[in-house]
Amino acid sequence: MSRWEPNALERLQRAAMELYRERGFDETTVAEIAARAGLTERTFFRYFADKREVLFAGAGPLHELLRDKVARAPDSTAPIDAVAAALEASSAVFEERRDFARQRHALIAAHPELQERELIKLASLAATLAEALRRRGVTDPAAILAGEAGIAVFRLAFESWVHDPKRRDFSRHVRESLGALKAVTAGKVTRPAAPSTSRARGASPAGRASGRRSSG
Amino acid sequence: MSRWEPNALERLQRAAMELYRERGFDETTVAEIAARAGLTERTFFRYFADKREVLFAGAGPLHELLRDKVARAPDSTAPIDAVAAALEASSAVFEERRDFARQRHALIAAHPELQERELIKLASLAATLAEALRRRGVTDPAAILAGEAGIAVFRLAFESWVHDPKRRDFSRHVRESLGALKAVTAGKVTRPAAPSTSRARGASPAGRASGRRSSG
DNA sequence: ATCTCTGATGTCAGTGACTGCACTCAGGTA
DNA sequence: TACCTGAGTGCAGTCACTGACATCAGAGAT
């Protein structure tokens, strides 16, 4: 038997998530989180750098997974496709905890200060992807841009996955978003033709959200 | 004669910039900034929501410029190119204050908490671009992705512009970065051939923009 | 000339995030 | 037995940020 309950870190994360959801991020104090976890404020700050970080810790395995998948892509694979394959492979990570992911996403969406943290974490993922590509010999503007593009795809895919009433797999949303990105950057997407009966939103395989030029 | 010195906001911004550069962001207190501007801490917080915001206020005109340029692009222009045209048009804004932009950029690069704020401001620019595209009739996954892609281009262009020893125009860096993005998302960039004569193939118009770093 | 209203600023007294430093104490090891 | 270590605690302090209220020059009204 040890002196303290085990899993202090997980207890803190759980307590924080509960309290942020119950009464809001701003209305929750760190002391309250610590108390619910059976610890003190001082201990909270030993585990997490600040009040926001408690929602973002633990991204290490995701970084490793992406690094690994990019490294293992066939030699002939283009950078953007190696990145896409890595993102698709991360599907399992999210599918496993769909509900948690949704709750966390809603929380972040409601608080700008949490969005800031989310964005810098995503930038860090982009950097991981770029670095993995460099190890494959991809040179720099391309490596950086493939990483950034991958994260743009990831964000859009995540958003539509979270809200997908059909609960289709995350990897499917990644493929659709990538298709949409390729169409957009190829200049294949334009304004709709004059009558504009377009159905907004949604996310088809995305390729043809297009007509061909013109209209008012 | 008015009761107070005019331009309180500008004085605060200038004082903050000076102090952050002189002794670092963390080592500067808001009270010190206010004092240097001849005001009190309380007044600082009337002008800026927090200690970071003083470096980011005043983005309104840039948003308006981008919105306007996207709106005015010819009907036949593809979304990604309308966005690129808007970014190129913003060149003047940066060229006018090259030194200030460099100093500010160095400051942000050295402080993660400032990067967070920078990222959310860029996300807001992406949203502005996406909204301007929607007004042109572009539907949603495409509008969002064109906005995000534009910001990825913007970031890369800004970075290489700031470090460009040849001091070429910002708009030129935008064009090069856009070319690199198009090559990457078209899958035209791959690892170098076996003998590795470096220089990734197919990065056509912009492949070798900003060659800081290369491969790994 | 005085009156009043307004807007920019100041004063003051908080709250709570975060930090440095010294301390406790069960369990393992020499 | 004595010592060390690792996980957590206690405490005092700094500073970002806020709400409530006070001040006071100048503009316009009377």
Answer yes or no: do B79 and B101 share one domain.
yes
Number of domains in chain A: 2
Give the pLDDT band of residue B213 (cuts 50, 70, 90).
very low
Nearest to B19 by CA among B61, B60, B54: B54
Chain CA centroid to CA B91, Å: 11
Answer yes or no: do B35 and B129 share one domain.
no
Task: Calculate the alpha carbon distances from A57 to A70, A123, B186 in Å.
Answer: 23, 15, 34
Answer yes or no: do A120 and A25 share one domain.
no
Residue B66 DSSP label: H
Q: pLDDT tens for residues B140-159?
A: 999 999 999 999 999 999 99
Answer yes or no: do A20 and A74 share one domain.
no
CB pair distance less than 8 Å for B216 and A115: no
The number of C-alpha atoms within 13 Å of A105 and in the hemisphere containing its C-beta is: 16
Specify the CATH number for the domain of residue A13: 1.10.10.60
The amino acid at B101: A
Answer yes or no: do A51 and A65 share one domain.
no
User: Residue B210: is its pLDDT beyond 50?
Assistant: no
pLDDT at A170: 97
CB pair distance less than 8 Å for B116 and A112: no
Listed in sequence order, the residues at least 6 apart from B55 whose beta carbon sits closer than 8 Å to its beta carbon are B13, B16, B17, B20, B104, B107, B108, B114, B117
Is the CB of A130 inside 8 Å of chain B's CB atoms? no
Going residue by residue through chain A, which has 216 residues, state the pLDDT in tens, using 9 for 90 and above.
Answer: 467 788 999 999 999 999 999 999 999 999 999 999 999 999 999 999 999 999 999 999 999 999 999 999 999 999 999 999 999 999 999 999 999 999 999 999 999 999 999 999 999 999 999 999 999 999 999 999 999 999 999 999 999 999 999 999 999 999 999 999 999 999 987 777 655 444 444 444 444 444 333 332
CA B71 to CA B91: how far, in whole Å?
Answer: 18
Which domain, by its residues, includes A13?
A: 8-55
Percentage of residues in chain B having pLDDT higher than 90: 83
pLDDT at B196: 45
pLDDT at B207: 41
pLDDT at B75: 94
Dihedrals φ, ψ of B178, to 5°?
-65, -40
pLDDT at B192: 72
Judge whether A152 and B152 are in contact, CB under 8 Å: yes
Chain B residues closer than 8 Å to A148 by CB: 152, 155-156
Assigned token pair, B165: 């020893």
Answer yes or no: do B65 and B51 share one domain.
no
**C1’ D21 / CA B36, Å:** 26
User: Residue B199: is its pLDDT beyond 70?
Assistant: no
Q: Which nucleotide's C1' atom has the smallest distance to the CA of A32?
A: C16
Answer yes or no: do B110 and B135 share one domain.
yes
> Mean pLDDT highest for which of A211-215, B6-10, B202-206?
B6-10
CB pair distance less than 8 Å for A186 and B188: no
pLDDT at A18: 98
Listed in sequence order, the residues at least 6 apart from B34 whose beta carbon sits closer than 8 Å to its beta carbon are B12, B15, B40, B41, B43, B44
The amino acid at B147: G
